[in-house]
Amino acid sequence: MRGVKTPIGRTPALWQIGGMPAESAVLLPLAAGLTLLGLLIAILAGRRGRKGRMVQGIGLALLPLALYLSGLLGLVWDAVVAVGRWASSTVLSPTIWAGFALLALCVVLWVVGGVVARRTPKRTRADRKAAAPAGAATPKAVSGRGQAQQRQAPPQDDDMAEIEALLKSRGIE
């Protein structure tokens, strides 16, 4: 190993065979192993007659190798390492746990608000007019001559009037 030099001129460390960076020494076998495992599972799914799932499995199995060859697996690796370092520093930090508690409260309030909004009946125009104070002015339709007109209810037949009276007697409007 002493006589081997990298293209840059530095002697590689023992784990860097042929000058390969340590990250690639870990990521290439990891990507290849995950790809082979995924292909094996996809082939087993294909033998069971699930051809569509087999094609999906092959596509998913090739993902780690594609990420490695495109250089994005190194980016994912760096993100995982950064999250690991951050998580190890948050174990005993009360400030960060207070932030997590506040984040959890935000999520709970959002979900409860959505449930309440779905269960609350929507108010119609008639409900809003009924809820308005009695002394409040209501807009009135003005005719072409400038006089206020009241809207007339459409004429009802006797059966509808009877049903309406029955509903009113039971407190249903």
Q: Which residue has the higher pLDDT, 123 or 172?
A: 172
Residue 12 within any structural domain of the chain: yes
Domain count, the chain: 1
**Beta bridge partners of residue 35, listed in sequence order:** none
Inter-residue contact 132 to 138 (CB < 8 Å): yes
Average pLDDT (11-32) is: 68
What pLDDT was estimated at residue 148? 47
Share of the chain above pLDDT 70, in %: 68
Mean pLDDT computed over every residue of the chain: 77
∠ at Cα 18 (12, 20), nearest 5°?
Answer: 80
Evaluate whether 25 touches 17 at the Cβ level (below 8 Å): yes
Local confidence band at 1 (pLDDT 50, 70, 90 cut-offs): very low
Indicate whether 119 belongs to any domain.
Answer: no
Q: Which domain holds residue 81?
A: 1-91
Paired strand residues for 141: 149
Higher-pLDDT residue of 159, 44: 44
Asked if the structure places residue 21 within a domain, the reply is yes
Residue 45 located in a structural domain: yes
Indicate whether 115 pLDDT > 80: yes
In a domain, 149, yes or no: no
> What does the pLDDT look like over 66-104, one tens digit per residue?
999 998 988 888 888 888 888 887 777 788 888 989 999
Domain contains 104? no
Instruction: Indicate whether 167 belongs to any domain.
Output: no
Say how far apart CA 148 and CA 14 lie, in whole Å.
97
pTM for the structure as a whole? 0.42
The reply to whether 22 falls in a domain is yes
- State pLDDT tens for residues 120-141: 777 766 666 666 665 555 555 5
